[in-house]
Amino acid sequence: MKIIINVKKLYDYEEVYQEEESDYELEDFELFSEAVKLKGPAHVSFRLSRVRSGIILDGRMDARVELTCVRCLKRFEKDVEAEMHEAFAIPGFEENFEGFDDVYMIERQSEIDIEPALHSNLVVSIPSNPICNEACKGICEGCGADLNTETCACKKEEIDPRLEILKKLKDSL
Ligand SMILES: [Zn+2]
Ligand SMILES: [Zn+2]
């Protein structure tokens, strides 16, 4: 779904800056084969600046997403944020925006679609190993018990690595 911003005044040099602040509905997506669900709209504020070859977008996005914890595999909600720095080129002037990760096009001379830029910034803001809580104990690999809520009877082989070296030394004596 497109999110169109009219930039006619900027395009025609009637204004040099254009400020926008709004809530936008973004679509759910998959990342590392896990569903990322938006919990409500993303709050986005940005400034558009006219430059010779197009328009620069600088701004910030805050969103709440539902992710899967890599330790306990439960779904949980997390606030994410992204700093945005994007270029929208007048068709034919794309090369003038070297150094930008993505260069988007100005459509029909007075409109830009910011949805792809919002989406890619949201994707980048998602942690690659989401954890519901720093203290999450995860799932027992032996029996599958959720160690946050249950205790299991599996034997734990958690030896301090320093103690392990001592143990090896002792065994070799
Ligand atoms: Zn967890
Ligand atoms: Zn277990």
Output the DSSP codes for 126-162: S-SS--S-TT---B-TTT--BTTT----PPP----HH
pTM for this model (two decimals):
0.83
Among the ranges given (41-45, 99-103, 139-143, 164-168), the one the predictor scored with the smallest mean pLDDT: 164-168
Convert the pLDDT of each residue in 89-98 to its tens digit. 999 999 999 8
Distance 128 CA to ligand 1 centre (A): 14
Q: What is residue 94's predicted lDDT score, i.e. its pLDDT? A: 92
- Of all ligands present, the nearest one to the C-alpha of 71 is 1
Tokens of 58: 């600088």
List the chain domain ranges. Answer: 4-136, 139-173
- Of all ligands present, the nearest one to the C-alpha of 145 is 2
| DSSP state, residue 95 | G
Distance 127 CA to ligand 2 centre (A): 28
- Of all ligands present, the nearest one to the C-alpha of 142 is 2
- Of all ligands present, the nearest one to the C-alpha of 132 is 1
